[in-house]
Chains A and B, each alone.
Chain A
């Protein structure tokens, strides 16, 4: 039986792996894709991670991965399908194998939240996108809308303003929520048109996106719509074992969940600020809790 299984290889999982190596635990990291980094892989510019003045999510993800590997972390590429309580720990069931462990650091992160508007599902990949950096280039010289008011929405709008002819930033509240320096850039960008206090009722189009029907009765003609309305936690695998709140695993800075031996780190847990830096901090904290737990049990 292993001391620890780390589920996920975003910043939280990789930071936990570095600390677990230093603690000389018998552990593995299980990652679904042979590419570490998690959500940051969708980010082009990162300017707020200490020590890297300006980098991108792919490079930072690779740097984290390589650090964890050099420290001695072992990685398994597989998808976890179930986590079961067994005597003295847990069984982690994957597509291609099963592992027994005394503790788990659950760091599977979050995924972009769906808007829930009519037409969204039907037109996904036909003008509806959840990744501006992936799909922006398909809308070169055309009109696009970004829905949301947080950091990601503002970053998306600024990125698309370089590519599209006009970008509508649609937010349901009267004020944006993202970082002030991003808001400042958005306000100064002539290509970005703010549409505040407005919700999207329907995404229109037969075979591809043609426009948006707004709750003020107006129709906005756009070719692409980029949805950035927050994230949903990837907690399904253990929702029967731990307490959750709106899908997020209830845990404080220590990572301790309602279930002994399972610790949550990164975007998957209840927290105020979801950033790379706070995910890294969670990974370190969760590992400290794992060591404490292993010493007691």
Chain B
């Protein structure tokens, strides 16, 4: 499952978490985001070792700015409080899985 996350919760749930996390930066008006997000949802069911979060860049613009998001969809993979990898644009299922598995 992919959960919505806010700026306030970000440190606790992503940065200070012992579990790796994938964060999907998206917006409702972004067509490619609406292609990628359902795929992130479905892939999230296959990895219990990773937490999956969504950041709505309209509502959490501060968080988007902090991570230098200038293009969506953007995925950021966090491990041990650090950015492990970033990906911009739509990915296929195979590419998405390979991206997630870097953190495991």
- Taking the closest CB of chain B, its distance from the CB of A263, in whole angstroms, is 24
Residues of A within 8 A of B32 (CB): 41-42, 131, 134
- Taking the closest CB of chain B, its distance from the CB of A108, in whole angstroms, is 12
Whether, in the assembled complex, B93 has its beta carbon less than 8 Å from a beta carbon of chain A, the answer is yes
Give the CA-CA distance A95 to B27 in the complex, in Å: 28
- Taking the closest CB of chain B, its distance from the CB of A43, in whole angstroms, is 8
Contact B88 A125 (CB under 8 A): yes
How many chain A residues touch B (Cβ–Cβ < 8 Å)? 33
Whether, in the assembled complex, A187 has its beta carbon less than 8 Å from a beta carbon of chain B, the answer is no
- Taking the closest CB of chain B, its distance from the CB of A130, in whole angstroms, is 8
Across the two chains, which residue of chain A brings its CB closest to B28?
A: A58
Across the two chains, which residue of chain B brings its CB closest to A130?
A: B89
Q: A34-B38, A42-B31, A133-B30 are in contact. Are A138 and B92 (CB under 8 A)?
A: no
Q: A79-B92, A125-B70 are in contact. Are A134 and B38 (CB under 8 A)?
A: no
Whether, in the assembled complex, B90 has its beta carbon less than 8 Å from a beta carbon of chain A, the answer is yes
Chain A 113-135, CB-CB to B under 8 Å as 1, else 0, gives 00000000000111111110111
Contact B38 A58 (CB under 8 A): no
Contact B71 A129 (CB under 8 A): yes
How many chain B residues touch A (Cβ–Cβ < 8 Å)? 29
Q: Which residues of B contact A (CB under 8 A)?
A: 27, 29-36, 38-39, 42, 57-58, 64, 68-74, 86, 88-90, 92-94
The 4 A-B pairs at the shortest CB distance, nearest first, are namely A41-B31, A125-B88, A33-B35, A125-B71
Could you name 26 residue pairs across A and B whose Cβ atoms are closer than 8 Å? A32-B93, A33-B35, A33-B38, A35-B35, A40-B31, A41-B31, A41-B35, A42-B32, A58-B34, A95-B94, A124-B89, A125-B70, A125-B71, A125-B86, A125-B88, A126-B71, A127-B70, A128-B71, A129-B70, A133-B30, A133-B31, A134-B30, A134-B33, A134-B73, A135-B72, A138-B71
